[in-house]
Amino acid sequence: MKKAIVLTADKFEDMEVYVPIFRLMEEGWQVDVAAPKKEEISGENGYSLMPDKTISQVNPDDYDLLIIPGGSPDGAPATVRKIKKAQEITKSFFAKNKPVASICHGPWTLADAGVVKGRHLTSFWHDNVPEDIKKAGGIWEDKEVVVDGNLITSRYPMDLPFFLRELMKILK
């Protein structure tokens, strides 16, 4: 069974977490959610979930896909990007050329992990996300979805159909 790990925290974007999880589950994937603590976290739109593990417990070698969703600029993405272990997990996926999918403010973690230099990607267009990507050497594009090798990125929840279409292509 293929396994995916979702790195998130409190104040996540509900659709950016749940829609990819449900889509992967439809395809028979096991999807684990990791957060800073193993306690209930809440989405911006009222949904909540109990993480399967903490980010510190994640062994990236146990997973085939990394998903870093977005959320409020002072919520989940701002929390996850500061966690050294989240950056290490991200670096491990890139070092092994495993698929990485990130949407909205999620690419902040990619920039902070130092894995975007010379890579094409997109993100939410405000809150300094494009500027942080560019500072880290990334090539930011304002498109519904950008695929660069093993990396799939999108801008916001309304891009989820395009994001998941491209993710499914890479996974097959």
Task: List active site positions.
Answer: 105
Question: How are strands ordered across the β-sheet holding 65-68?
Answer: 53-54, 30-35, 3-7, 65-68, 100-103, 151-154, 145-148
**Torsion from C-alpha of 147, 151, 155, 160, nearest 10 degrees:** 80
What whole-number distance in Å separates Cα of residue 6 and Cα of residue 26? 16
Helical residues (DSSP H) of the chain, grouped into ranges: 14-26, 76-81, 84-95, 107-113, 129-135, 160-171
What whole-number distance in Å separates Cα of residue 115 and Cα of residue 74? 22
User: Hey, what amino acid is at 170?
Assistant: I
Q: Coil, helix or strand for 123?
A: coil
